[in-house]
Structures are given as structure tokens and as C-alpha cells.
């Protein structure tokens, strides 16, 4: 375990673990955020001029986005230009004092700066390095630029999103990057565990490809193609081979999702909507029979939901012990008492434009009973912790720091 910057650190199960985040945009910073929420000290390196571009993504007012405030929370911002010889040397020195490095540059970029993992391990043998890239550190596509949107396409997800008679669509989220970030955390924790158990002679290198992170959630689509020659297609709001499970319209213009696809739930579902005839029909006793007539069942369900409001449908389903819920916008989520009771809606004072406002941010997932994660501060100002980290951790003098600032290295 690396030495600590100070005796007092954050709580959580990762207390005492120090992470150096060299990534930008979403994937590596997502991994850093998760580690920081559970107690790791995460030092984020940013360019002195502008910093991480996410600072201005989805920015509607002011000069710092809420996306940055969210994805960089609990991190320390240190400005270093790694492209310079002096900047790369500072990162090399910092790497001696950390347990994990998380990066998402194109393969070979760290090596070009003299920061290859094996080089860094010469001074820190147990260093765990998480490398997130579009296609991984090997293979014929290794050197291609890769973003989460492309990974969602090549990993198979976009092909399944939307309706069969329309072009593939995307979610209005960076889901590929988020998945890769989560796999990065899993890999980092496994590397730390192996080191702690004395199972590894050197620190682990974790190779996460954005395309493979997406591909990994494709369930049985590939083996179904191999076994049956079936290519899973876009099916709108229907999931192939499972019925009834869909999105249904309500009288007030809203929509509910109902999952009535297990045998016992199906019986309760049909009884609740007054279709005992469908509950008793032997054709629908199991999922294969129901899936063969999925469109017919969905029509019957829609006739019932269309005569009731969203609230009435959900109430009836809850009473019948059938999984169901409304399709929420973020406005609905913020207004929901369950999200608030679960501490998924955290209000923090934050500067927006020329004044401060009380803004709601997402809570920490997962919830740990004994050592829960927490939001200690929102995404920091650019370079807010440069002085603290470089003088405290590396012992750089004030004069040396001033000189580095003048040369725009930090």
C-alpha cells in the first residue's frame, strides 16, 4: 500500500489507496469517481490550459458543467502537462506514491511519454495500471481512435436498439464509457486483492476495451447465432423470446413497463387485469407458448392499461405482486420519495454562472452497510490541489513550483 499524503484521509473500504487518474472524458474518469466515492484518494491530472474537456460538456450556464461536478467529485485536480519532459517526470515521480493508475489514452501514448507501465514499476513494483481504450492494447484495431459511441456500435448494442423498420438508435448517455469504467474498477480491485494476497510478483495491468465492455453485456446473442443461426434484431419495446414484458400506454398519456414473464407472475398478472381466460389458457402456461403469441398478449394488456392512469396501473400491479413501474424522466426521479429515501438525491451548493444554487446530484451506488461511500466534495476547480499534492507528496519547493508554473508545465 502506498504511503499516505496525510494521517487524516477519507473513510470507506478503500481508505489508504491512492489512485492517479490520467484519463479524460468519461471512461477512466468514471472509474476514478467510483474509487473516490469509496475512500480512495484520487489525484486527477489535467492539462494546465483548459483541463478535462468534460468541464464544458453539456454546459448551459456558467463556466463549469454539472457533468464535471458529478464525474470528478471527491477527486483532487492537479495540473501537469505530461506532453513536456518535465511534466512526464512529475507524473513518473507521483507514480511512485500510488497504488493504481487509471488511463484512457490511445495505446502507445503513455509509452511515447516514457510512462509505460513496466517503466513505472521499476520504482513501484506493485503498481496496478488500468488501461481503457477503444479496442484494447492488442489486436488489429489497437491503434484506431475509439469513443464510447463507436464501441456501442461495434460491440453490438446499437444494432439492437430501436425498431426493426428504422435506423439503429442510441441512448442519450455515454453508456459504453460507463460500462468500461465499471470494468476498470473491477479490474483494479482484483489487481489490488491479488497484490494484498501475495499472489502476484508485480502489479497487474488491466486491459479494458470499450468495444468489449459493451460486447460483454450482449447476453446469449452470440451463442444463439452459433447454435441456431439466429441474429438478434431490433424489436422496439419487446424483448425477444420473453412474454409478456413490455411498455404499455396509459389513459393519461404516460407509459408503464410491466414484466409478467415468469409462470407464476403471469397468472397473477392476467387475473389482475380481469383476463382469467388468458390465465387459464393452456397455450400460455409457459414462456415458449406466451412468446409465440406475444403480440396478442400485448394487445390485451394495452387495452386494459389504456383504460387506466399510470398511477392506477402501478397500484394494481403492486397489489398483485407483479413487477411494474412508470417510465420516469429526470424530473420524475427528483420528485420520487423512494429515490430520496435511499439517498439517491443529494443536494449540494454549487456555483452556476454568477451565483450559487442548491443543485441535486446522484447518490452513491452501491450501498455498503458498514462502510458506505460518500460525496465529500464536487468536481474541483482546475488545478485546485496542484500546490497541495506537488509540495506535500513530492516535496517540491515553492520556488520550483513557481518556475514550473511560469513555464506552463503545471
Report yes or no: 52 and 46 within 8 Å, Cβ to Cβ. yes
Cα separation, 326 vs 258, whole angstroms: 9
Q: Which three cell numbers stand for residue 244?
A: 409478456
Q: Please check whether residue 170 is in contact with residue 152, taking contact to mean a CB–CB distance below 8 angstroms.
A: yes
Q: Which residue has the cell 516535496?
A: 395
Reference 212, options 97, 303, 132; nearest CA is 132
From residue 94, how far is each of 18, 45, 263 by CA, in Å? Answer: 10, 10, 57
The C-alpha cell at 145 is 481512435
Tell me the catalytic residues.
Answer: 177
Cα angle value 347/348/354 (rounded, 5°): 125
Helix (H) or strand (E) holding 258: strand 255-259
Q: Are strands 245-249 and 255-259 parallel, antiparallel or unpaired?
A: antiparallel
Between CA 258 and CA 267, with CA 263 as vertex, the angle to 5 degrees is: 70
Cell numbers that stand for 231 in this block: 441474429
Amino acid at each position: 500500500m502506498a504511503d499516505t499524503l496525510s494521517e487524516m484521509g477519507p473513510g470507506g473500504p478503500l481508505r489508504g489507496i491512492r489512485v492517479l487518474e490520467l484519463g479524460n472524458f468519461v471512461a477512466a474518469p468514471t472509474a476514478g469517481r467510483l474509487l473516490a466515492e469509496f475512500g480512495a484518494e484520487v489525484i486527477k491530472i489535467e492539462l494546465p490550459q483548459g483541463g478535462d474537456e468534460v468541464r464544458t460538456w453539456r454546459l448551459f450556464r456558467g463556466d463549469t458543467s454539472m457533468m464535471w461536478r458529478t464525474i470528478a467529485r471527491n477527486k483532487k485536480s492537479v495540473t501537469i502537462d505530461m506532453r513536456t519532459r518535465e511534466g512526464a517526470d512529475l507524473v513518473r515521480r507521483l507514480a511512485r506514491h500510488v497504488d493504481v493508475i487509471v488511463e484512457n489514452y490511445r495505446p502507445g501514448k503513455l509509452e511515447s511519454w516514457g510512462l509505460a507501465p513496466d517503466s513505472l514499476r521499476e520504482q513501484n513494483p506493485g503498481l496496478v495500471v488500468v488501461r481503457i481504450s477503444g479496442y484494447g492494447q492488442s489486436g488489429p484495431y489497437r491503434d484506431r481512435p475509439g469513443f464510447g459511441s463507436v464501441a456501442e456500435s461495434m460491440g453490438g448494442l446499437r444494432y439492437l436498439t430501436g425498431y426493426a423498420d428504422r435506423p439503429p438508435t442510441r441512448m442519450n448517455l455515454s453508456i459504453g464509457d460507463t460500462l468500461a469504467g465499471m470494468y476498470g474498477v473491477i479490474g483494479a480491485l482484483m489487481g489490488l486483492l491479488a497484490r494484498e494476497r501475495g499472489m502476484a510478483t508485480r502489479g497487474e495491468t488491466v486491459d479494458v476495451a470499450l468495444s468489449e465492455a459493451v460486447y460483454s453485456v450482449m447476453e446469449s446473442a452470440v451463442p444463439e447465432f452459433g447454435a441456431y443461426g439466429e441474429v438478434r434484431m431490433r424489436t422496439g419495446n419487446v424483448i425477444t423470446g420473453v412474454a409478456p414484458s413490455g411498455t404499455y400506454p396509459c389513459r393519461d398519456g404516460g407509459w408503464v413497463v410491466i414484466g409478467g414473464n415468469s409462470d407464476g407472475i403471469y397468472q397473477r398478472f392476467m387475473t389482475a387485469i380481469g383476463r382469467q381466460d388468458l390465465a387459464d389458457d393452456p397455450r400460455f402456461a409457459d414462456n415458449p407458448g406466451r412468446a409465440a403469441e406475444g403480440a396478442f398478449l400485448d394487445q390485451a394488456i394495452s387495452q386494459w392499461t389504456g383504460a387506466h392512469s399510470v398511477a392506477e396501473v402501478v397500484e394494481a400491479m403492486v397489489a398483485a405482486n407483479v413487477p411494474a413501474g412508470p417510465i420516469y424522466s429526470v424530473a420524475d426521479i427528483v420528485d420520487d420519495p423512494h429515490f430520496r429515501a435511499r439517498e439517491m438525491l443529494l443536494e449540494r451548493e454549487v456555483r452556476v454562472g454568477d451565483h450559487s444554487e442548491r443543485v441535486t446530484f446522484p447518490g452513491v451506488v452501491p450501498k455498503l452497510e458498514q462502510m458506505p461511500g460518500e460525496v465529500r466534495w464536487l468536481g474541483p476547480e482546475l488545478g485546485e490541489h496542484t500546490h497541495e499534492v506537488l509540495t506535500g507528496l513530492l516535496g517540491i519547493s515553492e520556488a520550483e513550483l513557481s518556475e514550473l508554473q511560469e513555464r506552463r508545465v503545471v
